[in-house]
Structure 1
């Protein structure tokens, strides 16, 4: 679908980068964001897209981003997010716990809420908002999973609000996706094997698995799908 304008938050690496690459290959005018210029700029150059530095937890920076975009927006992909930042050594336990939960909610929910609210009046009829969730919302997710569950709950109200504009809103609940920096140094061979064994397909997901599903949700074939959480996890979690 040539000529569409697509905004991908968290688009400099991992799933967000794969999403940006897929839309760019589809002929869209793609804008990616990330917190730091030194990561966004080279990613944008490599992908052949436009890059803008924006910390999506900052209302001021998100407002500035919306102003920089100009014109209408066809697709918004809320891919910013991740595990909570580790508290500084020596932080009192309750303070560390508070920091962890605030980090999870800020990074995984507030980013999507602020960005979507800032650009909602620019969303064109026939447009789509897709947010990246996680299997962690269903089980063993801790503060991160709770934040992703909140993202899915918010998506339902968003879909109701934007439905009259002919804008669909859905969440992709991803399972274990290899080839990203999500786990940092926390991924071991044993953990990898266990996560793969949980799937029915006996392989980890790839960033492009998620990107292809997002591309579909932004396509004419998905115009009657909204307010949904789509599970893309190789069968590690099923809805029956």
Structure 2
């Protein structure tokens, strides 16, 4: 029986890579990279969301998935999304990003408040609203996976604080949903090249400094994160829950 997979923020970067890996289950060439040999049989029904219709439609066509326009910071749009998905086996909360510039004309404290409010909305509340709206749709073996950041551990500002709150919320969510058989984990991504996260080309010096922090001496890729998400949604990860999995090449280590 095929499973239902929802990836919010699935039109670019890490979210798109995750959606592509799940969608690859339907490819006749065989098991996708990073897949478990005991993954559920049958091609999944993969859904991606994004805020803009053009990018959602283009991604859905290119990956062969279903596209739904949804701004995950908007409760009404999230509620409408939930109506379209009666069951969900894998929920990936990948929507998020850095806050843009505050509107002009604001006083300094007002501008600061706007920045922090946006960071929390994009990087915490998107996951909270979506997961809550789909709670009753989660199957007994569902996996909820939220994309965090190394910024939660250091130098993250409002973005890092929101990602730290995401991990704290995930721990509580795991305790809440665990008795139902649902696992809940955060993937904390380190420097990941080839995404739009930095809003443009990263200066060479900054790129080199970030790579130098790793033990592997290379930047991460969206595929690294996708493979981890795929594993966390596999039968082999059914006893992994309430965790923050750091995927950063050793730039931040735990013990």
Distance 2:201 2:135 in 1: 37
- In the alignment, which residue of structure 2 is the partner of 1:199? 214
Q: What is the alpha-carbon distance in structure 2 between the residues aligned to residue 28 and residue 136 of structure 1?
A: 32
Partner of residue 49, structure 2: 33
Output the CA distance in 2 between the equivalents of 1:14 and 1:86.
21
RMSD (Å), alpha carbons: 1.0
**Counterpart in 2 of 1:23?**
22
Structure 2 stretches of 5 or more lacking a match? 26-42
Partner of 1:73: 88
* 1:175 lines up with 2:175 in the alignment: no
User: 1:121-200 maps to which residues of 2 (within 5 A)?
Assistant: 121-185=136-200, 187-200=202-215
Q: Is residue 13 from structure 1 mapped to residue 12 from structure 2 by the alignment?
A: yes
Q: What's the CA shift for 1:89?
A: 3.5
- Answering whether residue 116 of structure 2 is matched by residue 101 of structure 1, we say yes
Taking structure 2 as the reference length, what is the TM-score of the superposition?
0.91
Secondary structure of the residue that 1:6 maps to in structure 2?
A: strand
After TM superposition, give the deviation of residue 166 of structure 1 in Å.
Answer: 0.2
Aligned to 2:132: 117
Task: Identify which range, 164-173 or 23-32, moves more after superposition.
Answer: 23-32
Q: Distance in 1 between matches of 2:198 and 2:190?
A: 13
1:211 corresponds, among 214, 226, 229, to 226
Measured after TM superposition, the shift of residue 91 of structure 1 is: 2.7
For 1:84 and 1:184, how far apart are their aligned partners in 2? 11
Q: 1:227 & 1:68 partners in 2: Cα distance?
A: 28
| Count of residues in correspondence between the two structures | 238
State how far apart, in whole Å, the 1-side matches of 2:200 and 2:185 are: 31
Quote the offset at 1:88 in angstroms.
2.6
Gaps of 5+ in 1: none
Aligned to 1:221: 236
Q: Distance in 2 between matches of 1:105 and 1:187?
A: 24
Partner deviation per Cα, 1:1-26 (whole Å, 9 max, x = no partner): x6110000000000000000000112
Deviation per CA, 1:148-207: give whole Å up to 9, x if none. Answer: 000000001100111111000000000000010000137211110100010000000000
Deviations 1:68-87 (A, max 9, x none): 22x31100000000101211
> In the alignment, which of 60, 66, 73 is matched to residue 44 of structure 1?
60
Give the Cα–Cα distance (whole angstroms) in 1 for the partners of residues 162 and 201 of structure 2: 20
Residue equivalent to 1:60? 76
